[in-house]
């Protein structure tokens, strides 16, 4: 949630334009307003707006230094005055902030008693006034400024990332504790950048440093310095080289990132599997020592965790799966013999990080499966498996989910000494996806979406692996089409769920060519007997289906094309309803607050 972008020594002396382009690359993080501050002559100039950046332009004065922010409201309504950046009383400091200052009311009351005037309802604004109070009536240097910023930041309770632009010294200082920040350095042009995530930096530099918790960076036109915030001493750092093309964060001719990323699964699934064979082998030692295996995640990542539980059971291994936001109820069962497999696209999901930290406090071992490099989750894990999908820009997860699922599948197969068989099945899946996921299939889904546009309720049933698959199918419909979609284990129908079925109620049946085939058809027949309309998603046809979409038959991995139908249907339904499939309402890509 929220996005930070900043630049110093902008090579075109047009920092505001560079910042607005950077913020557009961070739109997927979720936001409801945005703003920019630049230093020009002897003052800061700020522009703030509610709503989407879209094709917006900024007409701020030319400058080579500035900061920008996309805000997802937590404290205070969605108004221009609550958008970041926020200024102090003297317009000396501009502040942008991701996170929540949990003790802001207490600090604000003290500042009001010292005659500070507040213009917004946000927790962020206090930070500008805190720094102003620390430096009041002082002729300060950059070192003085840094010390006072560090002092102020350490008073903030909660998970936060803060960027401060000082007009006097033309310096930007950023501090991190819990919310992501990436420092980018373009050595050729001597440009410095700050961002919440990699995609906004790819156009400018591939040399980055991921700030750790309790680290800060001081940026000036003449130098940069990273600090240990606890000891307040400088640190030597090594930049990482990011091997991603800037085109990976572009639509490349597609109308939306979501449909591009659905298509990319034809490549990302196999790429993830082949690149991680060695790491999967290396991770097995953690499983062999564990007495208890637990998968955790939120939303789509939880559905991946639940599918992993089924896959492990099929290979003879007991495990459990919990929603990370409900993990605290079971944390008393964790000990040093527990292995936690944490699944997260961003690696910054607040609930997942809290669950992992709780498990670590009880000496559990942590393996994380993440897309974003340099994330908090990666850094606090004992072992990390990257999924090599490239940036996933659409808020709705597709290619990251299927790649994470493939990792859990290969883990289960490897533990059962069947890694070669697993890799063979993945290669077959990739080959089938390349033939099956084509325009003809999309046209069929478009026709189906047109027929279903006016429907307000969908039900999805599945059995065995297709039950958690149906949960993910339903979530894609909810996220992109804003339509109620509810998934059930097919065996639950007769235990109450079937009361929901009315004439022509759309019911999707997810099935595989497995030992449960007859059971799922039997459940579909029960729905049909109540005049429900049956949409079959399976490798086989049945007379019970009113509408049928054939999926490739790849044993357990049939669930992946079954789910892809849900991804496509959600996308085209959303388009038909006028929704933005890349940025669904009220949602953020990276949920960095509790």
Residues classed as catalytic: 2, 589
Question: Which residue in 197, 229, 200 sits closest to 213, CA to CA?
Answer: 229
Cα 122 to the chain's mean position, in Å? 24
Q: Hey, how many other C-beta atoms are within 10 angstroms of the C-beta on 148?
A: 20
204 by Cβ neighbours in 10 Å (0-12 / 13-18 / 19+) ranks as buried
5 three-state secondary structure: strand
Q: How many CA atoms lie within 13 A of 99 on its CB side?
A: 26
Which of 146, 161, 133, 145 lies closest to 69, judged by CA? 161
Radius of gyration of the CA atoms of the chain, in A: 25
- DSSP 8-state class, residue 547: E
Residues in contact with 586: Cβ distance below 8 Å, sequence separation at least 6, in sequence order? none
Phi/psi at 70 (nearest 5 deg)? Answer: -110, 130
DSSP string over 563-574: HHHHHHHHHHHH
Rounded Cα distance between 365 and 592, Å, is 23
* E strand segments, 299-351: 320-323, 338-344
Residue 334, H or E segment: none
Nearby residues of 292 by Cβ (< 8 Å), 6 or more positions away? 320, 333, 334, 335, 337, 338, 339
**CB 573 within 8 Å of CB 469:** no
Round to whole Å and give the CA distance between 301 and 349: 10
Alpha-carbon span 225 to 23, nearest angstrom: 24
Pairing mode of beta strands 86-87, 93-99: antiparallel
Half-sphere exposure of 577 (CA within 13 A, CB side): 25
567's CB contacts (< 8 A; 6+ apart) are 258, 262, 396, 398, 476
| DSSP-based three-state secondary structure for 260 | helix
Measure the CA–CA gap between 591 and 347, rounded to whole angstroms: 10
Nearest to 511 by CA among 472, 547, 541, 531: 541
Helix (H, G, I), strand (E, B) or coil at 218: strand
Do residues 226 and 235 lie in contact, with contact meaning Cβ atoms separated by under 8 Å?
yes
Q: Quick one: angle between helices 399-415 and 300-314, nearest 10?
A: 20
CA dist 401 and 374 (Å) reads 19
203, burial (CB in 10 Å: exposed 0-12, middle 13-18, buried 19+): middle
CB contact at 8 A, 268 and 403: yes
């Amino acid at each position: 949630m929220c996005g930070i972008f900043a630049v110093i020594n902008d090579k075109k002396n047009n920092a505001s334009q560079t910042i607005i382009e950077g913020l557009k690359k961070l739109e997927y993080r979720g936001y409801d307003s945005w703003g920019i501050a630049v230093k020009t002559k002897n003052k800061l100039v700020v522009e703030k707006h509610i709503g989407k950046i879209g094709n917006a332009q900024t007409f701020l004065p030319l400058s080579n230094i500035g900061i920008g922010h996309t805000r997802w409201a937590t404290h205070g309504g969605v108004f221009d005055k609550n958008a970041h950046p926020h200024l102090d009383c003297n317009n000396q400091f501009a502040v942008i902030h991701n996170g929540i200052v949990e003790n802001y009311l207490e600090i604000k009351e003290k500042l009001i008693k010292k005659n500070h005037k507040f213009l917004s309802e946000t927790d962020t604004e206090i930070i500008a006034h805190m720094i102003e109070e620390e430096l009041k009536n002082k002729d300060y240097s950059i070192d003085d400024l840094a010390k006072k910023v560090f002092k102020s930041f350490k008073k903030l309770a909660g998970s936060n990332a803060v960027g401060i632009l000082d007009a006097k010294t033309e310096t930007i200082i950023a501090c991190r504790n819990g919310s992501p920040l990436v420092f980018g350095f373009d050595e050729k042009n001597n440009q410095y950048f700050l961002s919440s995530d990699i995609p906004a930096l790819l156009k400018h530099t591939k040399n980055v440093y991921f700030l750790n918790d309790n680290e800060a960076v001081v940026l000036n036109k003449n130098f940069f310095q990273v600090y240990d915030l606890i000891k307040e001493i400088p640190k030597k750092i090594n930049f990482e080289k990011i091997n991603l093309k800037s085109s990976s964060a572009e639509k490349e001719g597609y109308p939306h990132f979501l449909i591009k990323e659905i298509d990319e699964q034809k490549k990302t699934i196999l790429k993830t599997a082949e690149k991680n064979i060695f790491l999967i082998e290396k991770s097995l030692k953690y499983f062999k020592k564990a007495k208890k295996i637990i998968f955790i995640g939120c939303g789509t990542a939880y559905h991946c965790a639940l599918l992993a539980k089924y896959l492990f059971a099929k290979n003879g291994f007991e495990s459990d799966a919990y929603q990370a936001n409900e993990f605290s109820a079971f944390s008393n069962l964790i000990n040093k013999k527990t292995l936690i497999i944490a699944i997260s696209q961003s690696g910054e999901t607040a609930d997942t990080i809290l669950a992992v930290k709780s498990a670590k406090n009880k000496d559990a071992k942590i393996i994380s499966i993440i897309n974003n490099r340099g994330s908090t989750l990666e850094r606090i894990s004992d072992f990390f498996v990257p999924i090599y999908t490239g940036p996933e820009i659409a808020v709705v997860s597709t290619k990251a989910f299927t790649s994470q699922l493939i990792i859990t599948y290969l883990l289960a197969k490897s533990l059962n000494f069947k890694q070669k068989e697993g890799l063979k099945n993945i290669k077959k899946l990739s080959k089938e996806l390349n033939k099956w996921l084509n325009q003809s299939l999309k046209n069929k889904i478009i026709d189906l979406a047109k027929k279903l546009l006016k429907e307000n309720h969908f039900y999805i049933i599945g059995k065995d692996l297709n039950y958690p698959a149906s949960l993910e199918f339903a979530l894609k419909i909810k996220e992109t089409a804003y339509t109620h979609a509810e998934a059930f284990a097919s065996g639950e129908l007769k235990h109450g769920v079937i009361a929901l079925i009315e004439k022509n109620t759309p019911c999707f049946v997810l099935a595989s060519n497995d030992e449960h085939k007859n059971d799922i058809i039997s459940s579909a027949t029960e729905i049909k007997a109540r005049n429900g309309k049956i949409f079959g998603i399976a490798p086989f046809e049945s007379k019970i289906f009113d509408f049928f979409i054939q999926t490739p038959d790849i044993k357990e991995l049939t669930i992946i094309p079954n789910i892809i139908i849900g991804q496509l249907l959600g996308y085209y339904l959303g388009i038909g309803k006028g929704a933005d499939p890349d940025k669904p309402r009220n949602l953020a890509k990276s949920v960095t607050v509790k």
